Amino acid sequence: MVDGLLQVEGGRPLSGEITVRGAKNLVPKAMVAALLGTTPSVLGNVPLIRDVEVVSGLLTLHGVQVDYDQTAGILRLDPSRVEAAHVADIDAHAGSSRIPILFCGPLLHRLGEAFIPDLGGCRIGDRPIDFHLDILRSFGAVVDKLEAGIRLTAPDGLRGTVIELPYPSVGATEQTLLTAVRADGRTELRGAAVEPEIMDLVDVLQKMGAIISVDTDRIIHIEGVEELAGYRHTALPDRIETASWASAALATGGDVFVHGAHQSHMTTFLNIFRKVGGAFDVRDDGIRFYHPGGDLRSIVVETNVHPGFMTDWQQPLVVALTQADGVSIVHETVYENRFGFTKALCKMGAAIQVYRECLGGTACRFGQRNFYHSAVISGPTPLRGADIVVPDLRGGFSHLIAALAAQGTSRVEGINLIDRGYEHFMSKLGSLDAKVTRLA
Ligand code: EPU
């Protein structure tokens, strides 16, 4: 059995207020950046999620003193005694997160070597690390693949370089930033990802003393510096968690105020939410998302890198689309295999077909490669409770939404996966008046 079993009595609108703290896809990277400083860093708005625990563990193994005040959400990281960790200890973290790959640059700068265990993260496609290794080699790192992971050394130090990414990968852009800031000379990165979380990491690095300019057309220039200091920073809010609760409000016919949500990071989501028939009110302290009554409308939407519609917004929205009137099309262009979660929705009564073709939008790199990466959702279809197993983080949250929207009882297995990215989701469900009971 996969860890965590939840019983959900569905068919009740989610209603109430919750708080969303710092972004899962920024906080662990800002924690890694602290390794580059000569003095302690302080990060605020840090949520209690599994990825933060994993990175805290890895930093501790490398001699960083980590102090986390969970209630205040304040993390203090002191890197003054960074040291090499034992391979076996690092390996104990294998399979639990993809963040370790971002330790490479900072560890090479601090220690001249790095060991990276086999990587985990969600099973949503192959998720290779070829861009990362090519980037590190381009800076002058020597990469040895071992059975348990990857060993890197930099016998001649790391030098600035010119990198052209084949795809605007979030992780590869972060890899370049975290390595270039202390490399010798200038680095030019072309084809960079420009997600808000990356811009927040640029802010963190600039506070530390880095010189980074984000130019037009996805070009970033970095001038390496000899020393970086610690930073003080408040993480931007999690726009994926915000959108997840928004879709949950819509799918259940509910009304949820998300404290801490920012409009500027969510423009594309808000446009789609409104087109589907959802309503929202933006306030200084957050955003209220609600179902205003009437029918939801079908839509054609394509996921893409920022400023497009995020891949991570797709799965929760698909649940709401099962309740929309007509045929919706979702074309996934970031990951080749992100519709596995729809099987469980069909078991609950949804009418969703997945296709290999690029439907409803421009042709993408998966069109010729036999991946089921387009979904056609016909609605509205009432959902009924069922026994389902969580496949991955975002797919899992979508299953939870489906169970909350469905008539009758569902048993959702494997909910511990959801802890990776949704802080205190059980108590948040409680404050939104959901009827959920943890069975195991
Ligand atoms: N890719 C390669 N080679 C590489 C790296 C990426 O082919 O070396 C491909 C991937 O397979 C994918 C595409 O490039 O098809 C984009 O991947 P990207 O590198 O942008 O993703 P990532 O950095 O691994 C982060 C988030 C994901 C989010 C994506 C896209 C973190 C820890 N993860 O992943 O978040 O979906 O960017 O925005 O920041 C999640 O939060 O549930 C999640 C999966």
Q: What is the DSSP string of 61-95?
A: HTT-EEEEETTTTEEEEE-TT--PPPHHHHHTTTT
pLDDT value of residue 118: 72
Query: Residue 134: how many CB atoms within 10 A of its CB?
Result: 15
For residues 295 and 324, the answer to whether their CB atoms sit within 8 Å is: yes
Question: Confidence class of residue 305 from pLDDT cuts 50, 70 and 90?
Answer: very high
Of 234, 249, 284, which residue is a domain's last? 234
Of 212, 234, 256, which residue is a domain's last? 234
Query: Residue 281: how many CB atoms within 10 A of its CB?
Result: 10
* Residue 311 beta carbon below 6 angstroms from any ligand 1 atom: yes
pLDDT value of residue 94: 58
Claim to verify: residue 9 and residue 155 sit in the same structural domain: no
Nearest CA to ligand 1 atom 44: 122
Q: From 411, 348, 403, select the one nearest 381 (Cα to Cα).
A: 348
Cα–Cα distances in Å, from 260 out to 148, 183, 207, 284, 401? 40, 36, 23, 9, 21
For residues 320 and 402, the answer to whether their CB atoms sit within 8 Å is: no
CA of 129 to the centre of ligand 1 (A): 10
Claim to verify: residue 357 and residue 412 sit in the same structural domain: yes
Strands 41-44 and 162-164: unpaired
Mean of pLDDT over the chain:
94
Instruction: Quote the domain boundaries for residue 11.
Output: 5-20+237-438
> Could you read off the pLDDT of 196-255 as tens digits, one per residue?
999 999 999 999 999 999 999 999 999 999 999 999 999 999 999 999 999 999 999 999
Claim to verify: residue 128 and residue 230 sit in the same structural domain: yes
pLDDT value of residue 189: 98
CA of 434 to the centre of ligand 1 (A): 32
* Residue 132 beta carbon below 6 angstroms from any ligand 1 atom: yes
Average pLDDT rounded to a whole number, residues 178-198: 98
Burial state string for 147-164 with b = 16 or more CB within 10 A and e = fewer than 16: eebbebebeeebbbbebe
pLDDT at 52 over 60: yes
Question: Confidence class of residue 433 from pLDDT cuts 50, 70 and 90?
Answer: very high
DSSP 118: P
pLDDT value of residue 155: 93
For residues 258 and 216, the answer to whether their CB atoms sit within 8 Å is: no
Question: Confidence class of residue 38 from pLDDT cuts 50, 70 and 90?
Answer: very high
By CB neighbour count within 10 A (0-12 exposed, 13-18 middle, 19+ buried), where does 221 fall? middle
Phi, psi (degrees; rounded to nearest 5) at 233: -150, 150
Claim to verify: residue 82 and residue 211 sit in the same structural domain: yes
Pick the more confident residue, 279 or 84.
279
Claim to verify: residue 286 and residue 199 sit in the same structural domain: no
Claim to verify: residue 193 and residue 225 sit in the same structural domain: yes
Q: Which amino acid is at 320?
A: A
> Could you read off the pLDDT of 55-110 as tens digits, one per residue?
999 999 999 999 999 999 999 999 999 988 887 777 776 556 788 899 999 999 99
Q: What 3-state class would DSSP assign to 166?
A: coil
* Residue 85 beta carbon below 6 angstroms from any ligand 1 atom: no
> Could you read off the pLDDT of 11-24 as tens digits, one per residue?
999 999 999 999 99
358 in active site: no
> Could you read off the pLDDT of 148-160 as tens digits, one per residue?
788 999 999 999 9
Of 214, 234, 254, which residue is a domain's last? 234
pLDDT value of residue 264: 94
Claim to verify: residue 132 and residue 245 sit in the same structural domain: no
Taking the C-alpha atoms of residue 189 and residue 257, their distance in angstroms, rounded to an integer, is 39
Claim to verify: residue 33 and residue 180 sit in the same structural domain: yes
CA of 170 to the centre of ligand 1 (A): 6
Domain count, the chain: 2
By CB neighbour count within 10 A (0-12 exposed, 13-18 middle, 19+ buried), where does 307 fall? exposed
